[in-house]
Structures are given as C-alpha cells and as structure tokens.
Chain A
Amino acid sequence: MTGQIQNINPGEVYTYLHSRLDGLNVREVTARLEEIGPNTLEVPKGHWWLRSLVRQLTNFFTILLDISALICFVAHSIQPGEQMNILGWALLGVSMLNALFSFAQEFRAERAMEELRKFLPQKVIVRRTGEDREVAADLLVPGDVILIREGDKVPADARVVDGSDLIVDNSPLTGEALPLPINAAATDKTLTESSNVVFAGCTVLRGSARAVVFATGFRTQFGRIAKLSHEIPRIASPLERETAHMVRVLTMIAVSMGLVFFVYGVITERSLWVNLVFMMGIIVANVPEGLLPTFTLSLAMGSLRMARRNVLVKGLNAVEALGAVHVICTDKTGTLTLNRLSVSRIADPQSGQDINIEKCGSDFFALALTAADIDETDEGLSGDPLDVAIAERYRANGGDPVAISAKISRRFAFDIDRRRAGGIIKDAVTTRFAVKGAWESLRPLVTSVRDCTNGTTAIANSSSLEAADMIVHVMASAGERVIALASRSISVEEENTDIEDLERDLVLEGFIGLEDPIRPEVPGAARQCHEAGISMIMITGDHPETAEAIARKAGILVDGDDAGQPTVTGDDLANMRVRDLIGLLEKGTTVFARTNPEQKMKIVTALHQMERVVAMTGDGVNDAPALKAADVGIAMGRGGTDVAREAAQVILLDDNFASIVAGIEEGRTIFANIRKFTNYVLVSNGPEILPYLIFMLFPVPLALTVIQILAIDLGTDIIPSMALGQEKPSAGIMKDPPRDRNQGLLSFPLIAHSYFFLGLIEAIFSLSLFFWVLFSGGWEWGQVLASTDPLYRSATGITLSSILLMQIGNLFGRRSRTQSGIDLDAFRNPLLVTGIVFEIIFSWAIIYYPPVSNIIGSGPVDAHIYAIAWVGAPLIFGLDYLRKRIVYVYQRN
C-alpha cells in the first residue's frame, strides 16, 4: 500500500477496492449503495422551491413595495373617490413581478445541472457475480467492475485494470479536446494527472477497457465541478448592495420621521386617526415609491442596449455589475484571438531561417502530417486545429494532405504527458517514423539535425541544441506557438514496436511556427481598459513566452510593464498559497500561462480577497465554477458549451473581448444614469415632506395630499426618470477609474443636494404659491379649510403644478454633473421630450381639466398665478447651474 489507487499495480486494484474480477455480488452492491449513495448528481433538497419563493417574497424590496401598496389601500379607504386602490394594485403587481423574476433566476442553476447531467450515461455495462450486464448508471458503487467501449460516456471515476488502445477525451475536465491514451500500468502521478484512470463525464474515443469504480456521484472529479457550478452562491452585485442600503436608509428616515410626528401629534392632543393619517403621509412623502420600479426598467432597457453590442445579459443585476468591474480575467483563444490557427513559418533547425519550401517543404509537410490525424469531410478538413493548420498550409502549397494520410500505417495519438504525437509513413521505398510536439519533450531524443539545403544531417551537439533552443525562444517570444518536428527511418521489423523503442536517434527536421491572429478590435479595447483603470489578466494554456508575446500584441502588457511581473505558470499556481498569489497580483502579474481552467477559481478567490469586482470569461464545462464564483461570469456564445452558458450571467454573442469592454462602458453609463435619476427623484421629496412638517407645527392647511404625492412619485416622475436612465455615455465615462466597491448610491452629498438644496428650493417656491393663493382667496392664519373647499383645492393644485414644472428644470440639471444639461442631445432623447411634455400637460390638467383635477383633489387658479409657477423651472435650473459653476471654480483652484 504505497499510494493511492493510481499508484498501485492493476492486479492489486480489486483487493484494495474489496472487489474481484467477477465483480461484486448483490449483497455487496446493496451495502455500498447504502453507505455511499447512488451515482447521481441529484441533490435531495426537499421543498427548496418553496423556500426560495418565500425568500423572494419577503425581501426588503418586495416588502417595501407591499407596504406602499398597503398605504394606497388605506388612502383609498379614507378617500374612496380618489381611486388609490388602482395604484395599490399596480404596486402589488410590480412587487410580485420582481419576486417572480428573482425566483426564476434561481431556476437557472437547475438548468446548468441538467446540462451537466447530459455528460453522464444512463446505462452502463457492469460485471456482477461473474456476468456482464447492463444496469442503470446511478446504481454503480465503488468496487464495481465496468466495461467501457468506443463512444461510451464514462459513468464514474474508475481505475483501468485491463484495456487495449484506449483513448479518451477528457475535455469536460481539462478544457482541451485532446485524445488521451489510457493504459492499466501503475503511475507515480497524482490522480488527475494519471494515465490509468478514466473520469466520469469524459468520452471514450477509441478502444475498450475494464475498470474498477472508486468514486461515484458528487465524489467524482466531474461531480465536484457539478457541485461547484450548482451551489456556489451568486454574489450580490454592487448595485444590489447599494440599492438595499439606499432603501434601508430612506425607509429608516421615513419611519423615524413618521413616528416622531405621530408622538408629537399625540402630545399636542390631535386625534389618533388624524395622527395615523399624517404619519402615513410623511412615510409616503419620504419613500420614493417609483424609484425601485424605475431601477428595474432602466436595467431592462440597458440590457437591450447591451444585446445590440453583442453582450447578452441573463440577469438584470449583471447589467450594472459589468460597469463596476475592476479586473477582467480573459481566455486567449477565440476571445483575444480569432481562433484561426495558421502556420506562420517553418524554421530551419540550425539557422532559424525560413525553410526553402520549394526544395524541402514537401518532405517536411509529409512528415508533419504523418504525426497528425486529419479527415476530409464535406465541410473541409477536420481534426485537431494544429493538424488542420498544417494540412491547410500543405494544401496551399499544392500538396494533398489526404493522400499523405492514406499512407500512414500507424498513429500515436497526442500524449499529454509526453506532449507529443507520432506516426509511421510507408511508401514503396522507405518507412519513416515522425514525431511532433513541444521542443522540451523532443530535445532529449534528438541525436542529429537536418540541413535541408544540402539534404544532409549533422550530429546534434550541445551548440546545435542550444542554437535550436534559441530559435524556439525567438519564435515563442514573437507570440508563435512552436512545434518541433523530428523523424527517423525505420526498418520494417521496427514498424510494430512500442513507441518507446521508436522514439530514439531522432533527426530534428525543423520548427513549425503557428499563429492565431489577434482580433483587430482588441488592442483598442485593451487601451480603453488601461484608460478606465481596469486591469486585465490573461489566462491561457500556452507556453509562457508565447503568452507574454500575445499579451503584448493584444495590449494587455504594455512596454515597461514586464519589470517585476513574471508570468505565472499553472505549476507555480498549483503550489502557491492564495496569499502568495495576492502578492503577485498586487505587483501587477497579468499573464497566467500553461494553466488549466480549474485554476481560474484560485485567481478569482485571490482577487476577491483583494476586494476587486471580477469579470471572468470561460467556455468549457470546467470553467463553470469560476464563472459562477466571479462577480460577472462571461460565457462565449459561439464557442462555449451549454454548461458554461448556463453558469454565466453574461453571454458574449461574438466571443470578442472588445464586446466585454463595450459592455463595461454600457454598465458604467447605467450606474451613472441611475445616480442621475435617484438624485432627480429625491429632489421632489423635499416639497413633499415640508408641507407635513409645517402642517404639524403651525395652524395651516396641508399643502399636498397623499394622492398628490403619489401622483408625483408614481406618475409624473417615472417617465423623466426613465429618460435619465436612457442617457448616452458621457465622453469621460471610460476615463475614470472603476468606482470604489464601498461607494454607495446614496451618499451624503447626494442627500444634501437633493433634500437641502434643490428640494428646499422646490419646497419654498411651491409653498409660496400655496400661501399666495390662500391669502389672495381670503384665508386667514389658523383658519381650517375642508378638503372640498374650492380655495383649498386651488391652493394644493398650484403647489403640485409648480413642483411638476420645477421638476423640468431639475431634469435638465441632472443630465450633467458639471455642464448645464441643455444641449442638442437632450432633444434627441425621445423619453426626455415625452417626460417634459407630460409634466407640462399634467401641470395644466390638474388645475384646469376637471376629470383630472377631480381625481387629484385640486382646483383652478388665475392664469397669472399659473404663469408665475412656470418661473420655477428656470429658477431651480439657474440656481443649480450657479452651484455647478461655483463648485467648478472652487475645484479648479
């Protein structure tokens, strides 16, 4: 017992797993099933959906909307003619929609699991009590002896004990669709690196084998990915946190003020009923009821704009989360590059110069294709992209790759451990063995070097090998993927010997440089990221030098950046503690080479500990956990797997890195716009609250009723808010650094500006008109007016009307933090124009149009007073502009 299951001899596997060649018996299977459980990815969760639904129905946002609805119903019961119940139902509808929307989001996780389950077979051939039989795969237990054959999906992690030419595709685990030979021999590698183990979810490409199961269900390597993809909790987006904070603060202000005035009312001996109504009025005035539905609408419209820029957003919160991103962790192939691998050059093994294709090319390509595996299909050449690139280049030079393929008598598939592939080509005269792969893996096998100009070979000595090292270094530094090609002539007898015997005395034929061109939009997008203070991290399986060269070409690494920032390899990463990784990331490491997708999780963890908002791209099955763990998981729409798409929040329809940057710009714009309309909406709270304070403190009539407040919050403010939500990105949106994770939506300056500056202006102006109408109508200080009194109705009408008109001035002012806000673009925003027209019409209708004024409880005023109400708009706009100029001058100095 010297190790784990992969480290022992095949003969010992049965003993150690308490099994036998004849398989387990029924009693053993039953006992193990009871012990370990079935081989499934199901999680017994009971009534999880009910708990989820209850959670969504009781979140703060939903409760707040429900309370608002309740207030409407109470208001309706007090004044039935005002049809407040309709507003109440509308609010309940919004609350239900929001809850159901969030509930539906949770179902998505189930869909990801469905996609993962497709990788596992339904049935499997298993040997039990000496008999091979087909059983349901979920009844497999550790110790079961299974038979796997070409085309089978592997049902559980199993140690191969006997097999012939087994080749598997482990891409669901490794992310690379490379054929991997599997044998039964013991190895000293770790479990995941072993060549004698088959893993659940992977596919048998060729051959057959008998294997003994040692892990099932969630305990398999695939099961762990499934578990992570399913159960990693989604991180609350920055906006979710900020909205929750804002709602909490506003509600606390509203409820506190309501309670204070309730107590004050009791002390001053007002009736309980009046006190309750006014407490409710203060709460209604303080809570911006329309703000939260406007958030949802704004995000929904933002997601539509993003879709037009090839960024498909699955959850509304991801719309804004993209804008908050500090770091983009991106794959290389297909995202930064075009994923069109092509041969860029063939280098001579001694001089490093391009090989004379006319003279030596035919022989060189024939050998390269001998170590390849390609097929001709209706859609063209198929096979490993590298092999196809070589074949296409050969074809472009006038050769026929299919004819070469037909002459291959034996193939040795790419071995991930040996990092090379081989083959034997035979014609009438010669038989040759060719091998191609990473230079580091071929170097020890090379004994001579070809000189193609005169067709001779020279003994490989240390200087010629060092020259070859330098050629590889130069090519890799230029961003080329370098493949070495070697060969030797063999005798007929050697044709059937083991690969180990064939791989000796090799002649180095040359180096193939392959390149996957950078997408043309990428350098520009990377420049934008640098300007916007967004870090980029490239995670690739390439050689470090190649990776660095590509990162430099893409603009991720810029000149002077590389000092003190070594590229981190997958091996380094595997042995690194998270705190050491944080140290490297803080120093600015941006390239991770020779990594596997699972290591993305470690990078996300480190970045989260650094308090960064992380966007992570991915396309494979094993990318799913990292996509789920990141703040914004981005899957590839074209090249990605369904599992990755289901786990991600964002899908890139064109797989293009530049689209991520476009999405970030859109996300930042949306947050800036949300700030604008939050500021806009909170301004009207001032003139809504002040009348209640004055009413409680002085013997005056109430200047604004509950229905009039709701008419602003849920009526006239909605379209202008939505208009601000549609504003175009400002010129400097991608010049500012990402906002601080702790920067709240509701800051003290924003509250002060909304309530104590603009809100106060609106309140003073509208209350001035209120008292003007009252005094000019004969009202005397302390006189009580009935709510049906025409004078009272006219006075509240002009108060409301003036607030609406002033909101137009406020609207323009909110368009820009530093500029006036009046420009041509304002009139190109159709919602803005509609909002202004609506406010104007409504400000007139509540005074002069009886069907509206009867509902609102308002009445007509003299035309000259209504004309003076119009002064409010330029007044608030002008004073705010003056403030902006003062701030600008102050900041400049």
Chain B
Amino acid sequence: MSIYLAYDGSINANWIARYAIRMAANHPEKQLHVVYIEDAEVPAPELSANVKQIEAEAAAVGVNAMLEVCPMHQGVFGGLVDYIPAGPQTFVICGARVKKGRRGFLAGTISEQLLSLRHFNVLALRVVQPGLLGLPRDVLVPVSGDRQGIRAGLSILELMIRDIHRLHLLNIVEARRSPFRLQSSADTRKQRAQAMTYVRTIEDELLRDLAIDPKFVDSHVVVAKSWSRETILHASRLHAHLIFIEAKHDSLTRRLLFDDEIEQLLGQAPCDVAVYRGVT
C-alpha cells in the first residue's frame, strides 16, 4: 500500500502536497513518493526548494517523503503510468487545476486520464483554501453517484478520516425537469424519502467499514434542479472545508445541455474539492 503524489512543481501541487502528507501520516507505512516527471517546466532550483519544503513538512509529522524523478514516456501521463504500480493498494494524489490550452480543471488533463484509467486509487485535488494546510475538518461527501463507486472510494476516505471532525453525506436528487411544472410537495416528499433511505444505507456502510462514531456523520437530502449548484450551496451552508466527490462521466448530451457539472463544481466551490475514483 503506497501513496504517490504526482507532483508538477506548481503552487497548487505544493498545496495538495499537504493533503498527501496528511494521508501518508495516517497510513501505517508513513511513506510518500513524490513523483516528478521531467518535463523541464520547473527550474531545478525552484523544484529543489519546493521538494525540500515538502520533505520538511512531511518529516514534521513523521512521514518520509522521497522525490522520484522519472522520464517522460509519450508525455507526462505515460511517465506516471509507467512508474506507478497498478492495484488497489496504490493511492495517487494529483492536481485539478487550470492551465492554458486546457478545457477545464479536469477535462483534458492528465488527472482526468489517471481517473479514467482505473489502474489505482486516484484523488484529484483542487486547493483554493491553502490556509487549511491540507487538514479539512468538515467534509462534504455527495453520494448521489454510483454506489459501487462510492464504496470503492472509502479506502481513500479512510486515509483522511482521522483528521475529520464532521462528515456530511449529501444526496441530491434531481427534481423532474419539466418546463411547465412545479413539482408538487407530495412528489418532493416521496423523492426525499427514497433519497433518505439510500443515504442512510450508505451511512450505515460507512459507519461499519470505517468504524466511526455515528454522531460524527450527518446525512442530508435535497431535491433540486442542479446537483452541482446545490453541492456548492451546501458546502457554503455547512462550512465544509472539502468536497469529496466521486468522478463521474456525464453524457455528451448532458454536458452540452447543462455544462460539465464537475467542472462547475471545481470552478465555483467555496472550498477545496477532491475528485476520487477508487479501484477494488
């Protein structure tokens, strides 16, 4: 079981390194592999200074951080895939950030490719609250996605759970889209009840698998038109420090009609966002 930080030398990478360090600190091996693919984008002295800081911060919490510089192999993505061993015991932490020439925070990025690959557990982070120092206390977990996918993400969450004070499970049910209709209270109530049953099932699994105190978890259900907007609002409402969300693929039609909602979330969230995909 190893933790790899796909490090690109950017300021976002320095900030997400904190999350990687925390996760490594909660892992019995207390090792962090800082993988840098030589793409000559970051000057060597700057890279060296940044890595030194990561090593120092890691050492402060008893983690051994090791820089591993690897060659490119048909690009950075190929270099990473070549180097990082596949399997459910591997955790890769990477960034979700804007860069010129890309379509979005995840769309068209190496992180998106890593998430799609399903070779290892991947956590793509966008950090907008560097003041948290990688220590989110209140975490919002949207659970409207695929149940298997959510279960697969528990092993990633487990590496963070010790530092978390409150876990909010949020199940957003999309109201039936009808341009000429306001959904009736009875319909909303029915949808809400079904959604609550679902979220409670996930809550039970989480309590069982992660062995946490029930008081520590709160479940919320919302019937709304847009899950990304509602997730953003709930993050503000609940003072969440981190949104921990499963990577999901919207259909092309849906992307065209309603924009890519994960991208909206990454761009507009008031807190850090972690997009995960676990493998079992």
Contacts and interface: CB of A to CB of B under 8 A. Distances in A.
A866 B215 CA distance: 78
A683 to B, nearest CB: 26
A143 B221 CA distance: 37
B182 A236 contact: yes
A846 interface: no
A738 to B, nearest CB: 14
Interface in A58-73: 58-60, 63
Interface residues of B, number: 47
B15 to A, nearest CB: 8
Contacts of B218: 577-579
A3 B133 contact: yes
Contact of A218 (B11, B137, B229, B270): B270
A109 B118 CA distance: 43
B232 interface: yes
A188 interface: no
A60 B236 contact: no
A241 B185 contact: yes
B48 interface: no
A36 interface: yes
A21 B128 CA distance: 22
A63 B229 contact: no
Given A58-B179, A63-B180, A231-B233, A4 B185 contact: no
B236 A228 contact: yes
A1 B14 CA distance: 14
A34 interface: yes
A16 interface: yes
A6 B215 CA distance: 26
Interface of A: 1-6, 8, 15-18, 28, 31-32, 34-36, 43, 58-60, 63, 142-143, 157, 159, 190-192, 214-215, 218-219, 223-225, 227-228, 231-233, 236, 240-241, 244-245, 248, 575, 577-579, 601, 605, 609, 611, 625, 741-742
Interface stretch (B53-61, B83-91, B107-115, B141-149): B53-61
Given A15-B53, A248-B180, 13 more contacts: A1-B57, A4-B132, A17-B131, A28-B11, A36-B128, A58-B179, A219-B129, A224-B239, A232-B233, A575-B215, A577-B215, A578-B219, A742-B184
A1 B97 CA distance: 24
A227 B233 contact: yes
Contacts of B179: 58
Nearest to A6: B131
Contacts of B10: 31, 35
Most buried by B among A219, A240, A245, A741: A219
B220 A578 contact: yes
Q: List the 3 shortest-distance A-B pairs measured between CB atoms, nearest first.
A: A214-B131, A5-B131, A577-B218
A190 B236 contact: no
Nearest to A192: B239
Contacts of A59: 180
Contacts of B271: 219
A240 B182 CA distance: 8
B253 to A, nearest CB: 19
B62 to A, nearest CB: 11
A59 B182 CA distance: 10
Nearest to B97: A35
A74 B220 CA distance: 52
Contacts of B134: 1
Interface in B20-62: 21, 53, 57, 60-61
Contacts of A225: 236
B135 A3 contact: yes
Interface of A, helix, strand, loop or mixed by DSSP: helix
Contacts of B233: 227-228, 231-232
A240 B181 CA distance: 11
B128 A219 contact: yes
A220 to B, nearest CB: 9
Contact of A224 (B18, B132, B185, B236): B236
A750 B137 CA distance: 54
B133 A742 contact: no
B206 interface: no
B197 interface: no
A611 B189 contact: yes
B79 interface: no
Contacts of B12: 35
Given A60-B180, A625-B237, A231 B229 contact: yes
Contact of A248 (B18, B181, B215, B220): B181
Nearest to B237: A601
Nearest to B63: A1
Interface string B205-242: 00000000001011111001100010011001101000
A741 B131 CA distance: 44
B70 interface: no
28 contacts: A1-B134, A3-B133, A8-B133, A34-B98, A35-B10, A36-B128, A142-B130, A143-B130, A191-B131, A192-B239, A214-B129, A215-B129, A218-B270, A227-B233, A227-B236, A228-B236, A231-B229, A232-B233, A241-B185, A244-B181, A244-B182, A245-B184, A575-B215, A577-B218, A578-B219, A609-B192, A611-B185, A611-B189
B24 to A, nearest CB: 12
Nearest to A143: B130
Contacts of B182: 236, 240-241, 244-245
Contacts of A1: 18, 21, 57, 60-61, 133-134
Contacts of A6: 131
Nearest to B216: A577
Contacts of B61: 1-2
A6 B132 CA distance: 9
A28 B221 CA distance: 41
B232 A227 contact: yes
A661 B129 CA distance: 44
Contacts of A232: 233
B186 A742 contact: yes
B130 A741 contact: no
B221 to A, nearest CB: 8
Contacts of B180: 59-60, 63, 248
B201 interface: no
Nearest to B135: A4
B88 to A, nearest CB: 28
B268 interface: yes
A4 B131 contact: yes
A18 B11 CA distance: 8
A341 B175 CA distance: 48
Nearest to B272: A219
A803 B217 CA distance: 64
Given A578-B218, A601-B237, A611-B189, A4 B11 contact: no
Contact of A32 (B11, B137, B217): B11
A232 B224 CA distance: 11
Contacts of B131: 4-6, 17, 142, 157, 159, 191, 214-215
Nearest to A35: B12
A15 B182 CA distance: 53
Contacts of B186: 742
A18 B128 CA distance: 14
A43 B270 CA distance: 12
Contacts of A15: 53
A192 B220 CA distance: 23
B268 A218 contact: yes
Contacts of B133: 1, 3-5, 8, 16
A1 B21 CA distance: 10
A575 B216 CA distance: 9
B68 to A, nearest CB: 22
Contacts of A605: 220, 237
A60 B237 contact: no
A59 B268 CA distance: 28
A247 B255 CA distance: 33
Nearest to A743: B185
A716 B185 CA distance: 35
Nearest to B217: A577
A418 B182 CA distance: 51
Contact of A35 (B11, B220, B225, B236): B11
